[in-house]
């Protein structure tokens, strides 16, 4: 199917574009009134596991905010779930995994086969969304990175410091690498299945990479990100987003990934320099700046694009959009990108 708007894919290929493509992490979700209506009606995993609901939620920001890409509504914790772990999601509280990974027996008990079948509802949502989009914009699939998934599997809930996850890695390094490899193998098969079900590109979210030192990142995060990128990029372009790990930009720029997501802790100029201007960068608007008055948002977006340049660039936030962002402010962010250079 020919895409009417293929800006995102052209940017990932490094082609010349009149303006950068724009989408927002967590664009399908909690800041949209129509999403909140569905949230009040169905629990989280019902929304994720029902292809029709996931499709409806995925399309909302395309229809209502005008983004240049749809990202499938799902969650990074479907992987631990598919591997046999219990994942609970309470509104306003975040995820919890009551039975954490502590030893070799726990790792051995994880399920690694038939992941595509166990996560068939994601493929169903992708196929349905692809059909409903009817070529309007590209569709993005995603997964959590192995380090971030290990954090949840070992810690059992969100954390500011991830000290249990780090302790596990420091005191049982062989087990840590065995677990990271298992997660990596499953994630590769999951992402390839997503590309076959309709994802035009995939993003790997390493949300907690920023809590690692550069040396620890090179041990516990980078090798597994590279494995995923090498395997999956044969099927579709891969965007790697290790939040907070700006120091890894030179290594990531040499990878098989088509794009790297960056947050607001690194300037566009520095990111370009560190990547030798050789890879597409995505980001890096601070989501809290969407609370600024609309004229200021538009001014800051223009300055951001001026700094990155239009080539090899995808306009995005440096992390997910927050629940209390007014919809017209999100729309102003998208409009400012679309108006660039016109």
Residue of 282, 342, 341, 291 whose CA lies nearest to 317: 282
| Residue 152 known to be catalytic | yes
Among residues 6, 19, 68, 152, the one annotated as catalytic is 152
Pairing of strands 139-144, 94-96: unpaired
Other Cβ atoms within 10 Å of 171 Cβ, number? 9
Binding residues for substrate: 26-30, 45, 75, 152, 207, 319
What pLDDT, in 10s, does the model give residues 55-79?
Answer: 999 999 999 999 999 999 999 999 9
Q: What are phi and psi of 240, to 5 degrees?
A: -100, 135
Among residues 10, 42, 75, 247, the one annotated as catalytic is 75
pLDDT of residue 275: 98
| Residue 39 known to be catalytic | yes
- Written as six digits, the tokens of 311 are 């080539």
Instruction: Provide the whole-model pTM.
Output: 0.98
Alpha-carbon dihedral of residues 35, 40, 44, 46, nearest 10 degrees? -100
Residue 1, pLDDT above cutoff 80: no
CATH architecture of 7-338: Alpha-Beta Barrel (3.20)
Looking at residue 322, what DSSP letter applies? P
pLDDT of residue 88: 97
Contact, 308 vs 340, CB < 8 A? no
Among residues 10, 39, 136, 331, the one annotated as catalytic is 39
Binding residues: 26-30, 45, 75, 152, 207, 319
Render the burial of 317-326: b for 16+ CB within 10 Å, e for the rest: bbbbbeeebe
Among residues 26, 47, 118, 272, the one annotated as catalytic is 26
Which residues, in sequence order, are bridge partners of residue 88? 96
Pairing of strands 94-96, 201-206: unpaired
| Residue 75 known to be catalytic | yes
Question: Tokens 């990202």 belong to which residue?
Answer: 71
What pLDDT, in 10s, does the model give residues 24-51?
Answer: 999 999 999 999 999 999 999 999 999 9
With cut-offs at 50, 70 and 90, classify the pLDDT of residue 342.
Answer: confident
């Amino acid at each position: 199917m020919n895409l009417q708007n293929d800006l995102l894919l052209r940017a990932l290929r490094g082609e010349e574009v009149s303006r950068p493509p724009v989408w927002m992490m967590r664009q399908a979700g909690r800041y949209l009134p129509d999403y909140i209506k569905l949230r009040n009606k169905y629990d989280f995993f019902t929304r994720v596991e029902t292809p029709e609901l996931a499709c409806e939620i995925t399309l909302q920001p395309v229809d209502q905010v005008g983004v240049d890409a749809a990202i499938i509504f799902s969650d990074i914790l479907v992987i631990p779930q598919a591997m046999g772990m219990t994942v609970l999601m309470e509104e306003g509280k975040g995820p919890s995994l009551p039975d954490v990974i502590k030893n070799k027996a726990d790792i051995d008990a994880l399920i690694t086969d038939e992941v595509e079948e166990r996560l068939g509802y994601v493929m169903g949502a992708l196929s349905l969304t692809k059909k409903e989009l009817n070529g309007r914009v590209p569709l993005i699939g995603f997964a959590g990175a192995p380090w971030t998934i290990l954090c949840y599997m070992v810690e059992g809930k969100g954390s500011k410091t991830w000290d249990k996850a780090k302790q596990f890695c420091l005191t049982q390094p062989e087990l840590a690498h065995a677990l990271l490899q298992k997660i990596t193998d499953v994630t590769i098969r999951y992402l390839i299945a997503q590309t076959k079900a309709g994802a035009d590109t995939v993003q790997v979210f390493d949300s907690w990479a920023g809590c690692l030192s550069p040396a620890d990142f090179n041990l516990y995060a980078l090798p597994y990100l590279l494995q995923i990128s090498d395997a999956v990029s044969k099927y579709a372009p891969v965007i790697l987003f290790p939040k907070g790990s700006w120091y890894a930009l030179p290594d990531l720029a040499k990878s098989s990934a088509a794009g790297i997501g960056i947050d607001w802790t690194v300037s566009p100029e520095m990111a370009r320099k560190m990547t030798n201007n050789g890879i597409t960068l995505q980001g890096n608007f601070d989501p809290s700046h969407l609370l600024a008055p609309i004229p200021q948002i538009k001014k800051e977006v223009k300055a951001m694009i001026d700094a990155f340049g239009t080539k090899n660039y995808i306009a995005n936030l440096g992390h997910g959009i927050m629940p209390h962002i007014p919809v017209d402010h999100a729309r102003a962010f998208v409009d400012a990108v679309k108006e660039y250079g016109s």
